[in-house]
Amino acid sequence: MIRRVLVAPVVVLAFLALSLALLVRPNAEGVDTIFSHPIFSVASGSMTPAIHPGDLIVDNPVTPNQAADLHVGQIISFRESSSGASSLIITHRIIAVLPGSARAPVLYRTKGDANNTPDLGTVAPSQVMGVYTARVPFAAYVLSTLHQPLTFVVLIMIPVVYLAEEEVRRRWVPQHEAEHFTGEQPDGSFGLRGHLASNLPLYRADSLRDLPDGEPVYLVEGERPADALIWAGAAAVATVTGAAVTPADVSLQPLVRLRPQLWADADSPGQARMRKIAARLAALACPWIDLVTWPNAPEKGNAVDFINDLRRRGLPRGEMAHAVAALPRVLSTVEDDHADETTAKPREWSSLPLDGHLRGERPVGILLSEVEPEAIDRP
């Protein structure tokens, strides 16, 4: 989350800067324009406080007739001489309108607001490039940097690399990696600060508040399987502590009034952990605890793999929750962390055909009270 918060503004700024670079185009006189408005970079402080060095000023373009009809007080951008396009461009204020001649109907005397004396010479209408309309503070520095070829390449690469990295993470990061929960403190630092990992809330635990009593909700290992089930239309939460830690009662308590569907990864540590969670829920007087099984699941397979399998087979997204509900359930009780190890003979549900679940039918659950525990014979 922090990575996205930090990277997103950089990508947005790169996109805006790149857009500005693409929008700036020189006109027939070689002056940079944006949407046909001449733009100029301010290099000196002769017009402070109205205009500052580093500002990018935007002018309104003027026709020859408009250039001959300007008045005192207007700020204009003009060529220092009429000798050619290589002449220096100055932006100063008109302080006087003087009579002209046959070649120039009027002449303008100009002066920088911060200068003590007027400019040498006068300005003919043919020298006027535009009339000042707005400034963008410090944008001249940005535009100057954008004109560097290396900068342009970097600006293109930033969003490309970011989007490519996000796509790689989405497609190729192993789906069975350990939970990536990170504890962030209010001051921005990371770590649990002495809090037990087992007391961490379940991922998406806040979504349980709106569920009615007895509503089935899947408990899986890690955020990705939970998100996959939620995408498919099922209610789901996840542990965030890794396979070595069993959530404490305070974390599991929100599940007691519901109907937890415990779905372990298809490996021995995950299944052992879910049996411990089932024992803790039973100790909390949870009346219904269903252990989901996926026959012929791949090694370490979880809900992400199951949903992806449904997608490969072309099952519509709206029917995936029913397909999940059609998986068989096996209920058993096992040792609590502080009790003698016991287990129950598993009692398996008869998995109804998928079309039965599409009609809204669900398998009938088994109460834990119906399962008699028996001791395990140790070798």
* Per-residue model confidence as pLDDT tens digits over 51-85: 999 999 999 999 988 999 999 999 999 998 876 65
pLDDT (mean) for 343-348: 35
Topology at the third CATH level for domain 197-375: Dna Topoisomerase Vi A Subunit; Chain: A, domain 2 (3.40.1360)
pLDDT (mean) for 321-325: 93
Q: Which two tokens stand for residue 367?
A: 């109460």
Q: Residue 5 pLDDT > 90, yes or no?
A: no
Q: Single out the residue of 345, 334, 342 nearest to residue 371, CA to CA.
A: 345
Q: What angle do CA 211, 182, 208 make, to 5 degrees?
A: 5
Single-letter residue type at 123? V
Instruction: State the pLDDT at residue 85.
Output: 56
Instruction: State the pLDDT at residue 346.
Output: 36
Res. 294 pLDDT band, cuts 50 70 90: very high
Condensed to tens digits (0 to 9), the pLDDT of residues 77-128 reads: 999 887 665 578 999 999 999 998 878 889 999 999 999 999 998 999 999 9
Q: Residue 160 pLDDT > 60, yes or no?
A: yes
Please, what is the average pLDDT of the chain?
A: 78
Q: How far is CA 140 from the centre of its chain?
A: 30
Give the separation between CA 1 and CA 3, rounded to whole angstroms.
5
Instruction: State the pLDDT at residue 363.
Output: 37
Instruction: State the pLDDT at residue 26.
Output: 84
Res. 4 pLDDT band, cuts 50 70 90: low
Instruction: State the pLDDT at residue 159.
Output: 73
Instruction: State the pLDDT at residue 365.
Output: 37
Give the separation between CA 47 and CA 55, rounded to whole angstroms.
11
pLDDT (mean) for 247-258: 92
Topology at the third CATH level for domain 27-138: Umud Fragment, subunit A (2.10.109)
Condensed to tens digits (0 to 9), the pLDDT of residues 16-43 reads: 776 776 788 888 777 889 888 999 999 9
Instruction: State the pLDDT at residue 181.
Output: 45
- Decide whether 27-138 matches 197-375 in CATH topology: no
Condensed to tens digits (0 to 9), the pLDDT of residues 169-225 reads: 665 544 434 344 455 545 555 455 555 777 889 999 999 998 999 999 999 998 999
In the DSSP assignment, the letter for residue 88 is: P
Res. 366 pLDDT band, cuts 50 70 90: very low
- For every residue of 231-283, DSSP letters joined together read HTT--EEEE-S-TT-PPPHHHHGGGTTSEEEE---SSHHHHHHHHHHHHHHHH
Compute CA distances 228 → 62, 101, 234, 268, 372, whole Å.
61, 81, 9, 22, 34
Three-class SS of residue 167?
A: helix
At 77, which helix (H) or strand (E)? strand 75-79
Q: Which two tokens stand for residue 239?
A: 């542990």
Give the separation between CA 362 and CA 265, rounded to whole angstroms.
23
Q: Residue 3 pLDDT > 60, yes or no?
A: no
pLDDT (mean) for 343-371: 35
Domain residue spans in the chain? 27-138, 197-375
Choice between 330 and 288, residue whose per-residue pLDDT is larger:
288
Give the separation between CA 279 and CA 332, rounded to whole angstroms.
9
Instruction: State the pLDDT at residue 19.
Output: 75
Q: Residue 2 pLDDT > 50, yes or no?
A: no
Q: Are 199 and 244 in contact (CB under 8 A)?
A: no
Choice between 318 and 193, residue whose per-residue pLDDT is larger:
318
